[in-house]
């Protein structure tokens, strides 16, 4: 089936995907919530982990890998969280199509860094399991910088960007403007402060619900 989808031209894929999404939204109340969520960190191998997991027949992924619900999304003018539970549930399978030995999940790497996400997750799915995939903070920051550079989100040299990070983020953090482009794209060192980020989750979830994995491959 997946190979057939890949063969379809884009002019067919787009309306099919749109109709599929409309159906999902119409049936949201019959859909599951995730059994586990991969919360990040960004540039730590979350995409690889996600694609490894979806190969298992007992694991059912979300409609989009990164739903960006609990962090509101990356677009400053659109807040996914305000779309509500109906929008979020539309990303997951129908409950009737999930057998007893199957689990569903999503992966949004910004969740670990966004201070609002832990409470929001807890309020909707308090029993959910959390997976945090971490990487050496220095390696992660460098990889993050070059990603932003390739996408033309960063004009400074890596030395300047790291030196200016605290100044750039100061007003954003003070105003809790977590959908600001600076918070999302220029938080190279800050995203490596895993202790603070995990402690925010531990305010709501016990360790028994959290799995921390260290990325060990290059």
- Going by C-alpha positions, the residue among 135, 142, 124, 123 that lies closest to residue 40 is 135
Helix (H) or strand (E) holding 24: helix 10-26
Give the Cα separation of 89 and 123 in Å (integer): 14
Is this model's pTM higher than 0.85 or not? yes
DSSP conformational letter for 31: B
Distance CA(134)–CA(177), nearest Å, equals 24
pLDDT of 136 higher than 50: yes
Fold of the CATH domain 21-214: Rossmann fold (3.40.50)
Q: Name the percent of the chain lying above pLDDT 70.
A: 93
At residue 187, does pLDDT exceed 70? yes
pLDDT tens for 57-76 read: 999 999 999 999 999 999 99
For 185-217, the DSSP string reads HS-TTGGG-HHHHHHHHHTTS-GGGEEEEE---
For the chain, what is the total number of helices (H) and then of strands (E)? 9, 5
Mean pLDDT of 195-213: 98
Mean of the pLDDT values across residues 186-192? 98
Strand blocks (E) in 54-209 = 59-61, 103-107, 129-134
Tokens standing for residue 20: 């599929």
Q: What is the pLDDT of residues 80-114, one digit of tens each?
A: 999 999 999 999 999 999 999 999 999 999 999 99
Contact 88, 67 (CB under 8 A): yes
Given a cut of 60, is residue 1 above it in pLDDT?
no
Give the pLDDT confidence of 154-184 residue by residue, as tens digits: 999 999 999 999 999 999 999 999 999 999 9
- Write phi, then psi, for 35 (nearest 5 degrees): -80, -30
Q: Is the peptide bond before 41 cis (omega within 30 degrees of 0)?
A: yes
Local confidence band at 215 (pLDDT 50, 70, 90 cut-offs): confident
Tell me the mean pLDDT in the region 6-15: 68
How far apart are alpha carbons 94 and 32 in whole angstroms? Answer: 6
- Above pLDDT 90, what percent of the chain? 89
Show me where the domains of the chain are located: 21-214
Q: Does residue 49 have a pLDDT over 50?
A: yes
> What b/e sequence results for 107-129 when a residue is b if at least 16 CB atoms lie within 10 Å of its CB, and e otherwise?
bbbbbbbbebbbebbbeebeebb
């Amino acid at each position: 089936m997946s190979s057939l989808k890949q063969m379809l031209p884009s002019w067919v894929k787009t309306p099919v995907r749109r109709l599929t999404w409309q159906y999902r939204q119409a049936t949201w109340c019959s859909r599951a919530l995730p059994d586990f969520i991969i919360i990040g960190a960004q540039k730590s191998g979350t995409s690889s982990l996600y694609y490894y997991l979806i190969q298992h027949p007992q694991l059912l992924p979300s409609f989009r890998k990164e739903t960006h619900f609990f962090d509101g999304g990356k677009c400053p003018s659109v807040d996914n969280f305000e779309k509500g539970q109906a929008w979020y549930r539309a990303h997951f399978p129908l409950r009737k199509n999930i057998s007893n030995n199957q689990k569903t999940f999503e992966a949004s790497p910004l969740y670990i860094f966004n201070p609002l996400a832990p409470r929001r997750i807890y309020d909707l799915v308090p029993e959910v399991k959390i997976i945090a995939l971490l990487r050496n903070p220095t390696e992660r920051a460098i990889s993050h910088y070059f990603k932003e550079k390739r996408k033309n989100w960063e004009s400074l040299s890596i030395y300047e960007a790291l030196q200016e990070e605290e100044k750039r983020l100061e007003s954003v953090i003070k105003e809790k403007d977590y959908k600001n482009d600076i918070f999302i794209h220029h938080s190279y060192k800050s995203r490596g402060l895993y202790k603070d980020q995990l402690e925010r989750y531990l305010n709501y979830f016990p360790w028994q619900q959290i799995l921390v994995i260290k990325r060990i491959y290059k």
